[in-house]
Structure 1
Amino acid sequence: MSTPTASRQDPSPATDAWLVIPLYNEAQVIGSVIGAARGTFPHIVAVDDGSRDDSARQAERAGAIVVRHPVNRGQGAALQTGIDYVLDRTNADYIVTFDADGQHSPDDARAMVSAAREEGLGFVLGSRFLEGPSPVGPAKRFILGLAAKVSSRSSGMRMTDAHNGLRVLRRDAAERINLQQDRMAHASEIIRQLAATGLPWREHPVTITYTDYSRAKGQSLWNSINILVDLLFS
Structure 2
Amino acid sequence: MSDYDDVWLIVPVYNEAQVICDVVQKARLTFPNIVCVDDGSRDASVSEIRKSGAHLVRHPVNLGQGASLQTGIEYARAQPGARFFVTFDADGQHRVEDVVRMIDRLRQEPLDILVGTRFHGDTSHIPWIKRVVLKTVVALSPRTRRMKLTDAHNGLRAFNKTVADDLDITINGMGHASEIMAIIDHKGWRVAEEKVTIIYTEYSMAKGQSLINGVNILFDSALRSSRR
TM-score, structure 2 length as denominator? 0.92
Q: Following TM superposition, by how much is the alpha carbon of 1:232 offset from its aligned partner in structure 2, in angstroms?
A: 1.9
2:143 aligned residue? 153
| Matched residue type, 1:143 | V
Query: For the Cα contact (< 8 Å) 2:147–2:191, is it kept in 1?
Result: no
1:21 maps to 2:11: yes
- Equivalence map 1:61-100=2 (5 Å): 61-100=51-90
Could you tell me how far apart the structure 2 residues matched to 1:154 and 1:199 are? 13
- Residue 205 of structure 1 corresponds to 195
Residue in 2 that maps onto 1:183: 173
User: Shift in Å at residue 193 of structure 1?
Assistant: 0.6
1:32 positional shift: 0.6
Which amino acid is the alignment partner of residue 166 of structure 2?
A: R
Match of 2:27 in 1: 37
Contact 2:144/2:181, CA 8 A, preserved across alignment? no
Give the whole-Å Cα distance in 2 for the aligned partners of 1:13 and 1:224.
38
Deviating more after overlay: 80-89 vs 125-134: 125-134
Which stretches in structure 2 are left out of the alignment for 5+ residues? none
Instruction: Give SS of 1:175's match.
Output: helix
Q: Which residue of 1 aligns with 2:99?
A: 109
User: Hey, what's the Cα distance between the residues in 2 that align with 1:177 and 1:152?
Assistant: 21
Q: Deviations over 1:119-173 (max 9, x none)?
A: 1210000000034435213443122111123334367312110100000011101
Question: Are 1:129 and 2:119 an aligned pair?
Answer: yes
User: What amino acid is the match of 2:162?
Assistant: D
CA RMSD of aligned residues (A): 1.7
Change (3 A) 1:154 1:37: closer
Q: Which moved more, 1:59-68 or 1:130-139?
A: 130-139
Structure 1 position 47 matched with structure 2 position 53:
no
Q: Which runs of 5+ in 1 are unaligned?
A: 1-11
- In structure 2, do the counterparts of structure 1 residues 45 and 134 end up closer, same or farther at CA, with 3 Å as the change threshold? farther
Distance change (3 Å), C-alpha of 1:139 and 1:22: closer
Deviates more, 1:85-94 or 1:202-211: 85-94
Higher mean alpha-carbon deviation, 51-60 vs 142-151, is at 142-151
Question: Share of identical aligned residues, percent?
Answer: 48
Q: Is the 8 A contact 1:25 1:51 kept in 2?
A: yes
Decide whether the 8 Å contact of 1:97 with 1:168 is kept in 2: yes
1: CA distance, partners of 2:125 / 2:222: 25
Give 1:51's aligned amino acid: S
2:143 touches 2:182 (CA, 8 Å); kept in 1? no
Tell whether the 8 Å contact from 2:38 to 2:45 is kept in structure 1 after alignment. Answer: yes
Query: 1:135-146 to 2 correspondence within 5 Å?
Result: 135-146=125-136
**CA distance in structure 2 between the aligned counterparts of 1:86 and 1:31, rounded to whole angstroms:** 19
More deviation, 170-179/77-86:
170-179
Paired position in structure 1 for 2:46: 56
